[in-house]
Amino acid sequence: MAVISRTVATLRISGEELDPEEVSALLGHPPDKAQRKGDEIVGRNTGTVRIARFGMWRLRAPDAEPGDLDAQVSHILGKLTDDLTVWKHIASRFQVDLFCGLFMDKEIEGLSMSPRSLLLLGERGIEIGLDIYSGDGEQMESG
């Protein structure tokens, strides 16, 4: 199995009442990007202004080529609290997920994650979302 060409990973915490400063204080680290419900958001490509319908706190790992989600999970979680009671509190109030973009250059590529990474994510209540892209790499990245 050929290794996946490139991976991107972003921890996303979202909710209608989410206050990014509160989440940063709980986790012990600021986000790369954040929004509150009601904030004006300007589209990166279009310049169109929209109003945020919910709050969001995001922390992104550096892209990995070749793909390495284990390293990206370690990078993100290594910056944040290990206190599982804090994570349970956050997960009880907000949607918490790890957005993963998987970018393939070849027809058949693969990826695996270590039991340690899966345990770290699971015990923190972090859902994994995988978007898989194949082809010329022109697709938009979200997260």
Tens of pLDDT, residues 10-40:
999 999 999 999 999 999 999 999 999 988 8
Contact 95, 13 (CB under 8 A): yes
Q: Kindly write down the DSSP assignment for every residue of the chain, as one continuous string.
A: -PBPSEEEEEEEEEETT--HHHHHHHHTS--SEEE-TT-EEE-TTT--EEE-SSEEEEEEPPPBSS--HHHHHHHHHTTS---HHHHHHHHHHSEEEEEEEEEESSSS-B----HHHHHHHHHTTPEEEEEEEESSS-SPP--
Look up the pTM and report it: 0.88
Q: Taking residues 63-82, what's their average pLDDT?
A: 97
